[in-house]
Structure 1
Amino acid sequence: MTHADSGSPGETGAGATTRDSGFQQPDTEGRTAPVFGRGSQFHECFNDPRWALAMVRATVLEAAHPQIGAALIDNSTFVAHPWRRLRNTIVSMQRMFGPDDHVRQREAARLNRLHGRLNGTDARSRPYDAMDPEVRAWVVATMFESAVTMCRLSGQPLEQHAMERLYTEFQAFLAALGDEAGHLPPTLQEFWHYYDRVVERELENTEAMRIILYKLFDHLPAPPLLNGLPTLWAAGRTIAGPAIGAITVASLPEVFRRRAGLPELPGAETVMQGAYLAVGLARFLPGHWLRTDSIADLLALSPDSDDPRARTVTALCDKMSRAAALIRLIAPLPPEPQSTPAGGLQRGAEEFFHEVLDQTGNGYLDWPDLAAMARELSSRLDLDEPQESRLYSAFADWWRELQAALDADGDGRISAEEYATAAPSLAGPALIKVAEVLFDATDKDGNQTIDADEHRTLFRTAFHRDATDAGTAYTRSAFIKDFLSFMTGRRRTTPYDPLLAQA
C-alpha cells in the first residue's frame, strides 16, 4: 500500500473528501452535517456514558485479532498502566475527530510514527505490523460496530441514516490516517458482510483478549486520584471486575463466543442488557458531568496536584478514610494497606523494577518498556519530528547500555532478579543523555530553564519547592540531577512518580 500524501484528499465510499474537516454530509432533512467536530454523529457517541462499555467491547474484539493481540502483548502498557493508556486514547480520539484539520493531521502523523515502531512476531512466529492497513481497518470497524451495538443493546437502535452518517465518519477517520479507500467496504451493507467474515474466520482466543476479560478488571489498579482508598477500591473491584467481564462476553458475537470457547454464564445476557440500560440513564444528568475528557483528566490527577478538582476529591477521600477507620474500630475488618508517602523515600530495587521499569507488566525489562516511556513522554510534550525520534534514540541507547550491563543470561531481556543484583544505581552516559534530551524537549523556548508552563506540560502540576530554582524556574542541572536520582536512586518524588510509575 502506498501511504497517501498528507495534503491530498482521500475518498470514502460515500464520496467524501476526508482530508477536509469542513466536508459536509446530508442529514435527514437534506441539510449538511459535519463529519468531524460538533454536530457529527461521533460527537454524540463520545460523551454518551454507554461509550465506556462499548469501548471495552471494541478493545476485546481488537485484541482477538492475532496481529493486534500480539502487538498488545509485546508493546502495550494496558496491563500495568491502564488509566494512562485510557487517557492517551481519549486525547487522541478527540484530536482525530475534532474540528481542527491541522490538529488532526498532526495527530495522524504522530499515530503513524507510533504504529510504524510496532512490529515483530507472535508466539507462533507469525509476523505482526501495526501499519498493516487491514489491521488498522479492523480497529476502526470494531469502534463503529460497538457504537452501533451499544445503542441496540440499550433499546435505542440507531436509525439507518444515523448509522450511515457514523460509518462515513469512521471511514473519514481511517482516510485521515492516510490509508487508501477500500480497506473498509464502501457501503454500510457491504460492511456487515466484511465484519461477519472477520469475526467468523480471523479472530482468535488470544492471550491479550483473555487478559482483558479475566485479569485486567479483576486486578485493575486504582486511578491515581483514588490511591488513598485501597480497601474501598479493592472491594468495589472484586464485584465490578467479574461483572464487566461477564457483560462484555455476553455482548460479543455469538459465533465468536462459540469458536473461542468463552463461557456463557446463566443470565449474563439479561445482566448485560440491564447494564446498558442503566448506564444509558446517566445521559439525563447535566451535560458537563458526562464529558469524557473531563472525567479522564480527573482520574489522571495525582492526589497532591494543585488542580482544585484534585483537592476536592482528596478531601472527600480523607473523610471516607476516617469513616473507614471508625468502622474498623467497630468491626474486625482487615487493616487498610499503608501507602508510602512521596517525599523522597527510597524503593527497593525489585519494587522500582516493577513500578517504573516494567512498563508493559510482563515481569521483564526489555526494549518495549523503554519505548513505552519514550512514547508517554513524547505524548505529554506533544513532540513532532525530529525531537520525538531523538528521544526514542536516547532511550534505545540506554536500553543497549542496560542490556550490556545487566542481561546476565543473554536472553535479550532483564529480569527483576538480574536488575536487583547488578548495581542498578550506576548512572551511565546513556541515561544522562536521556535526561538531557528530555530537558531539551521540555524546554520549548530554549532558554535553558523550565518555566512554570513547561513544567506543567510535562508533569501536569505546578512547581514544587524541591524541584525549583529560586521558585521561578527549573535549571538544566537541577532537572538532570532529579531525573537521575529518580531513575537510579529509586527515590519517590512528587513529579516523577506520576510521570512514569502511576497507573
Structure 2
Amino acid sequence: MSQTTAAETVDVFGPDSMLRRLVNEARWGLAVTRATVLEAAHPQIGTALIGNSTFVTHPWRRLRNTLVSTQRILDPDQRVRTREAARLNRLHARISGTDPQGRRYDAMDAEARAWVVATLFESAVTMYRLSGESLDGPAMEQLYAEFRALLALIEGDSDRLPATLQEFWPYFDDMIEHRLESTEAVRVILYRLFANVPAPPLLRSHPAVWAAGRAVAGPVAAAITIASLPESFCRRVALPDLPGARALMHGAYLTIAVATRLLPDGWVQVGSIMSLLDPDHAGGSGPWESVRRKADQAAAMLRLITPAPDETNQATRSADRFFAEILDQTGDGYLAWPDLAAMAREIAARLDLDEQDEERLFNAFAVWWRELQTNLDADGDGRVTRQEYAASAACLPSSGLVKIADVLFDVTDVDDDQTIDAQEYQTLFRTAFQRDLTDKGDSYSRSAFLRQFLSFMTGQQHSIAYNSLLSQ
C-alpha cells in the first residue's frame, strides 16, 4: 500500500487545490453538517462529542473556530499548516475517557480520525452530485488524494484510509455496516441542535424573530440532512424516511448550487456569510456589510422602544444564570473538567498559542478546577451541580482564578510591555477596545485586567468582552 506522509503535502494544497476552493464556498456547510452526523455515529467520536464538545451550546463559535482552523490547515505556507496540525493534535490529546458502556474513547484514535476525513470526502462528493455537478474520474481522484494528504498532515500518515479511490467505497460501506451505531450524538445533532440552535450574533437582539424562524427551519434542516445521508446508514441508525424529504433535499442543494453559479464570488464565500452572521468575524468588511449595518440600525431602534427586562440582584439567581451561560460550556447541566477545558481551548485557539503557553493556560484552569471540586463538589461525584454552585458562589476561593488571569494576561500581552493595547485586546475579545475598563487611557494594565477578570468569573459583574469570549 502506498503511504502519504506529511512531507508530501507541501504542494498538494497549492493554487490548483480543489479542497482549498471548496472549503471557501458557503455550500461547504451542507457537506460539513452531513459529515458531522456520519462522524457522530462512530462510537469513539460520538462519545467524545457528547462529553467534551460545545457544538450544541455554542454552535456559532464552533463554526467560526472550525473555519479558522480549516484556513490554517490549508494555508499555502507549510509552516502555518504544521503549526495548526500540532495545535489540533494537542487539543485532541486532552480528550479521552470512558463511555456509559465502559468502553474507552480517545480523540487521538487513528481509526476515528481517518473516519472524520472519510466522511468529509464522501460528503463533498455527495454535495457535488446533489448539486448537479458530478465529478469526473480525474477530479474525484484528485480530491481524494487531497483528503488523504490532509489526514497525513494531522496523523503523520494516511494508512488508515485506503490507498486508492476504488478501495475507498468498500471501506466506507463496511464502516457503516460494522462500526457505526445509533449514538446519542446523532440524535442530539439532528433533533436538539437544529431545534434549539441559538441565534447568531447578528440576530441576538431579536429572540422572538429567531425563535419563530427556527421553529420552521429546524425541522426542515433536519429533514434535508437525513434525506441526504446514505440509505444504508439511515437503516443502521433507524432514521425516518419522511414523505417529501428527498424532494426538499434535492431542491435545497440545487438552489444553493444555482446561487453559487449566479451570484458574485464574494457573496457566496463562507467568510462573507460568516461576516454577515457574526460582525466580529471579518472586522466589518465584505459584500454583506451594508446589509449587516442596516440590521444593526433596526436592532438599535427596536431596543429603544422595547421595555428593559426586569433584573434582580439576588445572588443566588445571578450565580444560577452565570452557571448556565458561562460555566456549563457543554450544556449537560453540570460543571466538570470538560467545561473548563472548553474555555481553555477557546482562548488558546483565539490567541493561536504555542505549546508552552497553551500548557500554562490549561494548568491554570486545572488549578481552578481542583479548587471548585474541593469547595463545591459536596457528593464527590467529580462534577458540580447548578445548585451546589449557586449555594456557595459568594464564598469561592479565587487563587485559581488569579492564576488563570495572570497566564491570560501574559499570553495576550505579546509585546511583553505589561499592558494590553487595543490590538492585543481585539485579538482576544474580537471587539473594540473598552476604555472604561482600564485605569489608563489607551492600554489595559495587569491590575485592571485582573480586577475585571475576577469580577466576571465570579459572576459579580457583567462584561460584554468576556461574554463574547466564553458564552457566544
TM-score above 0.5, yes or no = yes
Matched residue type, 1:19: A
Deviation at 1:322, TM superposition (A): 5.6
Specify the alignment match of 2:98 in structure 1: 121
Query: C-alpha separation between the residues in 2 aligned to 1:300 and 1:260?
Result: 34
Deviation at 1:299, TM superposition (A): 2.7
Describe the SS at the equivalent of 1:218. Answer: helix
Specify the alignment match of 1:296 in structure 2: 274
**C-alpha contact 1:225 1:302 (8 A) present in aligned 2:** no
Structure 1: unaligned runs, 5 residues or longer: 1-11, 24-34, 327-335
Query: C-alpha separation between the residues in 2 aligned to 1:137 and 1:174?
Result: 7
**C-alpha contact 1:108 1:176 (8 A) present in aligned 2:** yes
Deviation at 1:325, TM superposition (A): 11
Cα deviation code 1:32-69 (max 9, x no counterpart): xxx21432111232233321111110000000100000
Q: 390-399 or 174-183, which moves further after superposition?
A: 174-183
Cα deviation code 1:383-407 (max 9, x no counterpart): 0021000000000010010011001
Specify the alignment match of 1:376 in structure 2: 346
Cα deviation code 1:357-386 (max 9, x no counterpart): 000011000000000000000001100021
Matched residue type, 2:252: A
Query: C-alpha separation between the residues in 2 aligned to 1:403 and 1:424?
Result: 15
Question: Which residue of 338, 358, 364 corresponds with 2:334?
Answer: 364
Matches within 5 A, 1:394-413: 394-413=364-383
Matched residue type, 1:373: M
Specify the alignment match of 1:414 in structure 2: 384
Query: C-alpha separation between the residues in 2 aligned to 1:420 and 1:266?
Result: 47
Query: C-alpha separation between the residues in 1 aligned to 2:310 and 2:181?
Result: 41
Matched residue type, 2:7: R
**C-alpha contact 2:26 2:273 (8 A) present in aligned 1:** no
Matched residue type, 1:398: W
Deviation at 1:447, TM superposition (A): 1.2
**C-alpha contact 1:48 1:280 (8 A) present in aligned 2:** no
**Structure 2 residue 295 is matched with structure 1 residue 316:** yes
**C-alpha contact 1:228 1:339 (8 A) present in aligned 2:** no
Describe the SS at the equivalent of 1:495. Answer: helix
**C-alpha contact 1:49 1:280 (8 A) present in aligned 2:** no
Question: Which residue of 467, 471, 474 corresponds with 2:437?
Answer: 467
Describe the SS at the equivalent of 1:128. Answer: strand
Higher helix share: 2
Q: 427-436 or 313-322, which moves further after superposition?
A: 313-322
Specify the alignment match of 1:476 in structure 2: 446
Describe the SS at the equivalent of 2:439. Answer: coil
Question: Which residue of 76, 89, 106 corresponds with 2:66?
Answer: 89
Query: C-alpha separation between the residues in 2 aligned to 1:402 and 1:491?
Result: 20
Query: C-alpha separation between the residues in 1 aligned to 2:373 and 2:398?
Result: 12
Question: Which residue of 177, 195, 202 corresponds with 2:179?
Answer: 202
Describe the SS at the equivalent of 1:466. Answer: helix
Describe the SS at the equivalent of 2:30. Answer: helix
Deviation at 1:433, TM superposition (A): 0.6
Matched residue type, 1:299: L
* TM-score (ref. length: structure 1): 0.88
Question: Which residue of 459, 464, 469 corresponds with 1:489?
Answer: 459
Specify the alignment match of 1:217 in structure 2: 194
Specify the alignment match of 1:238 in structure 2: 215
Query: C-alpha separation between the residues in 1 aligned to 2:397 and 2:279?
Result: 30
Query: C-alpha separation between the residues in 2 aligned to 1:260 and 1:337?
Result: 47
Deviation at 1:18, TM superposition (A): 4.3
Matched residue type, 2:435: R
Matched residue type, 2:192: K
Query: C-alpha separation between the residues in 2 aligned to 1:285 and 1:323?
Result: 31
* TM-score (ref. length: structure 2): 0.93
Query: C-alpha separation between the residues in 2 aligned to 1:151 and 1:200?
Result: 24
Describe the SS at the equivalent of 1:422. Answer: helix
Deviation at 1:163, TM superposition (A): 0.7
Query: C-alpha separation between the residues in 1 aligned to 2:167 and 2:273?
Result: 36
Specify the alignment match of 1:249 in structure 2: 226
**C-alpha contact 1:84 1:300 (8 A) present in aligned 2:** no
Deviation at 1:300, TM superposition (A): 3.2
Matches within 5 A, 1:313-352: 313=292, 315-319=294-298, 348-352=318-322
Deviation at 1:452, TM superposition (A): 1.3
Specify the alignment match of 2:428 in structure 1: 458
Q: 178-187 or 212-221, which moves further after superposition?
A: 178-187
Query: C-alpha separation between the residues in 2 aligned to 1:457 and 1:206?
Result: 37
Specify the alignment match of 2:36 in structure 1: 59
Cα deviation code 1:154-188 (max 9, x no counterpart): 22211111111110101111111133231100000
Deviation at 1:318, TM superposition (A): 3.9
Matches within 5 A, 1:252-263: 252-263=229-240
Matched residue type, 1:287: D
Q: 188-197 or 221-230, which moves further after superposition?
A: 221-230
Specify the alignment match of 2:48 in structure 1: 71
Query: C-alpha separation between the residues in 2 aligned to 1:58 and 1:144?
Result: 9
Deviation at 1:291, TM superposition (A): 2.0
Q: 102-111 or 447-456, which moves further after superposition?
A: 447-456
Identity %: 57
Structure 1 residues 294 and 347: alpha-carbon distance in aligned structure 2, compared to 1, 3 A threshold = farther
Structure 1 residues 255 and 175: alpha-carbon distance in aligned structure 2, compared to 1, 3 A threshold = same
Specify the alignment match of 1:26 in structure 2: none
**Structure 2 residue 148 is matched with structure 1 residue 171:** yes
**C-alpha contact 2:40 2:46 (8 A) present in aligned 1:** yes
Q: 254-263 or 213-222, which moves further after superposition?
A: 254-263
RMSD after superposition: 2.5
Structure 1 residues 311 and 370: alpha-carbon distance in aligned structure 2, compared to 1, 3 A threshold = farther
Describe the SS at the equivalent of 2:195. Answer: coil
Query: C-alpha separation between the residues in 1 aligned to 2:398 and 2:323?
Result: 17
Count of residues paired in the alignment: 466
**Structure 2 residue 409 is matched with structure 1 residue 439:** yes
**C-alpha contact 1:80 1:361 (8 A) present in aligned 2:** yes
Deviation at 1:258, TM superposition (A): 1.1
Structure 1 residues 250 and 128: alpha-carbon distance in aligned structure 2, compared to 1, 3 A threshold = same
**C-alpha contact 1:119 1:130 (8 A) present in aligned 2:** yes
Structure 2: unaligned runs, 5 residues or longer: none
**C-alpha contact 2:48 2:105 (8 A) present in aligned 1:** yes
Describe the SS at the equivalent of 1:124. Answer: coil
Structure 1 residues 424 and 193: alpha-carbon distance in aligned structure 2, compared to 1, 3 A threshold = farther
Query: C-alpha separation between the residues in 2 aligned to 1:68 and 1:306?
Result: 34
